[in-house]
Amino acid sequence: MKQQYIMALDQGTTSSRAIIFDKGGNTIAVAQKEFPQIYPQPGWVEHDAMEIWTTQASVAAEVLLKAEIDGDQVCAIGITNQRETTVVWDRETGKPLYHAIVWQDRRTSAYCDELREKGYADTFRKKTGLIVDAYFSGTKIRWILENVDGAREMANKGRLAFGTIDSWLVWNFSKGQLHITDVSNASRTLLYNIHTMSWDQELMDILGIPASMLPEVRQSSEMYGYTEATLTPYRIPIGGIAGDQQAALFGQMCTEPGMVKNTYGTGCFMVMNTGDKIIESSNNLLATVAWKVNGKVQYALEGSIFIGGAVVQWLRDGLGIIRSSGDVEQLALSVKDTDGVYLVPAFAGLGAPHWNQYARGTAVGLTRGTTAAHLSRAALESIAYQTVDVLKAMEADAGIRIAELRVDGGATANDLLMQFQSDVLNAAVVRPKITETTALGAAYLAGLACGFWKDMDEVRTQWQQDRKFEPQMEDAQRTPLLKGWKRAVNAAKAWANDSND
């Protein structure tokens, strides 16, 4: 019997990756391809859905070569994906009607305002756990139906399929045999009732979306079907699907109520496991489905920060201050502090707990002495400050003090950021040995489905700490820093308010 492995496909906002894991949860091989971001006009963000598919399929084939294994050695594939990003395609041709509209896209903001003015905000909140915002898939689907020639007629005839990126990948891997999603991705659409765990007809009617477009909703860990001669001559089982933040929560083994993780990716996403209870937030956080495994649903409380690591990409691509993202730490360390500079990276509006879709990026406290190093340090610190805002809201909703934050994602390699995060949170920040927790979560879900791992207990033993950052800052220093951040956020909101007068 040849040795078996799990393949995780991690389809992110800026790149498609494939990772092979062994039974110990160790990374055997990784393949990755970046793809272009499309910005047709301010506030609009798109991807070429065909490019997402081709890059993901090519890294999946490449990672098998790198690991020197055959398709029959893959016990199952687990898929994790950028959430809310919306693809609508023709069932007959398999071709997308329009570019994928990315989660960061703000084109439906005015329509969201209309929904709120009509008094629908509470209906959506109660049923989906979400707020009415351009971030989620529902209003993006409607935009395609309203704005692409012939789309509405095709939808009414049952010819169109909608999917978040997981559905789009599974459709292509299975050559159109499977049109499915999992509960975690469904719960981010504004169309899924998290109490009844089903698509909600009332919400579909409000948004004008026919039920025939929607995928079948499945568990996050089960044998869904097979790849059909797309990767290798072998039919490989697909056994796990979860939106990236839920996958990271699972990969961090935050499987007990009250456990919290923060992922530092393009955005930052803090998620707390709330067990079998839906906590309705009083502080502008989202109630969402964590996963469904072995017939059991677990819920979560989530705070979404739109611009996290993307602020470093902006320093690199937009300003040309650094050559590569890894250079930011050294540049930031060349000054002892930001010299009073705050950067609020509200490039796509402010997410939790502010939810101001009109706020825009703002830098305050600039002087003639401000350098690229001060701005770089302020950019890094903005990631930590935004995380504080979300954590405080989460503590208030859950009624508990969070003493430990498990962290993952690319930016956690930055020790300066992790230490500053611990300092301003006044809590321990714990980085695991494997920071690829999003892909690992998808691998665990697939591995549990195909029997690669026996049960959750076996998986739990694999989580290992790499480093624990403890707070080293006094209140006398922390308090004015947080006060300054609050003033900077208020400045970003004030700018937005004036623009809408």
Residue with tokens 């963000």: 45
CA torsion sign, 374 to 376 to 382 to 384?
negative
Rounded to whole angstroms, how far apart are CA atoms 166 and 179?
Answer: 10
pLDDT at 232: 64
Is residue 233 within 8 Å of residue 71, measured between CB atoms? yes
The binding site for glycerol comprises 83-84, 135, 244-245
Low-confidence residues of the chain, pLDDT below 70? Answer: 230-232, 498-501
How far apart CA 355 and CA 390 sit, in angstroms, is: 11
Please list, in sequence order, all residues whose beta carbon lies within 8 angstroms of the beta carbon of residue 34, skipping any fewer than 6 positions away.
Answer: 14, 15
pLDDT at residue number 350:
87
Give the pLDDT score at 411.
85
pLDDT value for 96: 97
Q: Which pLDDT value is given to residue 463?
A: 86
Task: Please report where in the chains the tokens 């055959």 appear, as a residue.
Answer: 70
Whole-angstrom distance, CA of residue 286 vs CA of residue 271:
9
Tokens 């690991």 — which residue?
A: 67
Return all residues near 32 (Cβ < 8 A) that are at least 6 apart: 15, 16, 17, 18, 59
Is 281 in contact with 471 (CB distance < 8 Å)? Answer: no
Per-residue model confidence (pLDDT) at position 111: 96
**In whole angstroms, what is the distance from residue 383 CA to residue 418 CA?**
10
Concatenated DSSP letters for 116-162?
A: HHTT-HHHHHHHHS----TTSHHHHHHHHHHHSTTHHHHHHTT-EEE
Pairing of strands 404-408, 428-432: parallel
Contact 140, 208 (CB under 8 A): no
Nearest by Cα to 261 from 440, 124, 131, 92: 440
Q: Which residues does 28 contact at the CB level (< 8 Å), separation at least 6? A: 5, 20, 21, 22, 67
- Coil/strand/helix, residue 302: strand
Judge contact between 286 and 135, C-beta under 8 A: no
Q: Is 109 helix (H, G, I), strand (E, B) or coil?
A: helix
Q: Which residue has the tokens 């090519």?
A: 58
The pair of structure tokens assigned to 183 is 């509960």
Q: Is 138 exposed, middle or buried (0-12, 13-18, 19+ CB in 10 A)?
A: buried
**Annotated binding-site members:** 13-15, 17, 83-84, 135, 244-245, 266, 309, 313, 410, 414
Per-residue buried b or exposed e for 106-133, using 16+ beta carbons within 10 Å of the residue's own CB: bbbbebbeebeeeebeebbbebbbbbbb
Annotated binding site for ATP: 13-15, 266, 309, 313, 410
Place of tokens 């598919």: 53
Indicate whether this model's pTM tops 0.95: no
- Report d(CA 94, CA 174) in Å as an integer: 12
Helices 372-398, 475-499: crossing angle, 10 deg rounding? 90
Of the candidates 52, 49, 50, which has an alpha carbon nearest to the alpha carbon of residue 100?
49
E strands, 321-400, where? 342-344, 362-364
Known binding residues for sn-glycerol 3-phosphate: 13, 83-84, 135, 244
pLDDT digits (tens, 9 = 90+) for 32-42: 999 999 999 98
d(Cα 425, Cα 368) in Å, to the nearest integer?
31
List binding-site positions for ADP.
Answer: 13, 17, 266, 309, 410, 414
